[in-house]
A and B are shown apart, each in its own frame.
Chain A
């Protein structure tokens, strides 16, 4: 059974969002998503400065067998990228809500309200 922390919000493309305050949001993929992907061997997140759009691809995640798009759950500007995760893609599997975070977006604080809460995401993830 995959973990869905209650303090986070979620997108229907299986990213989690953490509210860091001041309109800044940290983003990664959910435990459910990493289970679907299998072993992640390559992570390419969006560079700081880039404008990302909610629901649009902004990077790539690759398992041994397949490449998948990484979607942004929010529209805004990337202000930080997890530089260490590129060299440690297995962190997305081992610690998707912690060391495996991918990028931070700055946007309007109200964006949070358009995301799924943990109960809604649980229903979506089919558990």
Chain B
């Protein structure tokens, strides 16, 4: 990222006190791991892990034209949230040319208000973009960036039970998945996450998060860093902005077609023309999953056909702790569907791989295999 001092979250001292190895990420100094990313990954798959994701920006939008602004700006349609306060919607934010400016979660709040969670690297640009859209149309929308808020994510099959067991916290059994609710002044909890597991994201005033982090740790939740977050999200087939897609990629080229809602033909959202044009022409590039026979794929490694032609590039790749082998997302020319045999060039050597449909892992089970393992 750019030079200069790194920003720190309100839990910075807490991370150091718990033995975190810190690393720069999107202009922030964040915990990479607390000793073992593999242990942290396993804790989230088996029980519960706690992530500080306060580098992400909480942006509240309100006012008479907030809904209208989001229906214009977002590829997914916030009309789906009408009359459903608390409901979450995952969406892309597109430029006029269809390029992805960010991917984000939007929650409906009461009273025509919305809560957006923006990627750290994009939040400044997103806000300029959204304000500009409102201004040129003379729309009334209030922007309230919650710079004094942070976000914790408690994730794993045991996460909700452990969180609900904390003093003063609501019972999460009553909170449906993909929904959020206020849990007191300046505290919002949502049954969402970025690991493929059940869990809760806790958005709120920074000073409220520290005691919650301590309480969750005391209840047996494992602190977990960005390294585990990356391996967990990739196994779940979830994309990372700036790596799997950026402003040069469209949703259809990024396996994010589901974030585009075309149901209302009268909704002229930004990027719509490109999406329609691209669908008419046929998609030239696709984001696919790869499972490797052996070797670990990394961002930027070339993907080759079985006979060695260049097909595309690995966008995210790592060693999957759950599958015990290399997995990747890769952008390749269209026509290589699940089951197709390809190769990944690792330091100049071609390694066999198979195209799969992510996720790689779900509900405690492998969803993708390298062929010879099947039926074992």
Interface residues of A (CB under 8 A from B): 35-36, 38-39, 41-42, 60, 62-67, 93
**Complex interface: stretch among B35-43, B91-99, B137-145:** B35-43
Q: How many A-B residue pairs have CB under 8 A?
A: 45
Given A60-B347, A64-B38, A65-B231, A41:B32 Cβ within 8 A: no
Interface residues on B, range: 10 to 19
Tell me which residues across on chain A come within 8 A of B32, comparing CB atoms: 38, 65
Inter-chain CA distance A39–B38, complex, in Å, is: 7
The digit string for B310-349, where 1 denotes a CB below 8 A from any CB of A, is 0000000011010000000000000000000000000100
B21 at the binding interface (Cβ < 8 Å): yes
- Contact in complex: B36, A65 (CB < 8 Å): no
State whether B296 touches A42 (Cβ < 8 A): yes
Q: Is the CB of A64 within 8 A of B321?
A: yes
A35 to B19, CA, bound (A): 11
> Are B36 and A39 touching (Cβ within 8 A)?
yes
Provide the residues of chain B in CB contact with A93, threshold 8 Å: 36
The secondary-structure label for the interface of chain B is mixed
- Contact residues of B between 266 and 317, Cβ < 8 Å to A: 295-296, 298
| Residue from B230, B296, B298, B347 in contact with A41 in the complex, judged by beta carbons closer than 8 Å | B296
Q: What residues of chain B lie closer than 8 Å to A67, measured between beta carbons?
A: 296, 298
Query: How far does the alpha carbon of A93 sit from the alpha carbon of B228 in the complex, in Å?
Result: 17
Complex contact B319–A64 (CB within 8 A): yes
- Min C-beta distance of A71 to chain B, whole Å: 15
Instruction: State whether A42 touches B21 (Cβ < 8 A).
Output: no
Do the beta carbons of B37 and A65 come within 8 Å of each other?
Answer: yes
Closest to A44 in B: B347
Which residues of chain B (210-239) have a CB below 8 Å from chain A? 227-228, 230-231
Which B residues are CB-close (under 8 A) to A62?
Answer: 296, 319
With A38-B37, A39-B36, A42-B296 in contact, do A64 and B318 touch (Cβ < 8 Å)? Answer: yes
Residue of A35, A39, A42, A64 with most chain B CB atoms under a 10 A cut-off:
A64
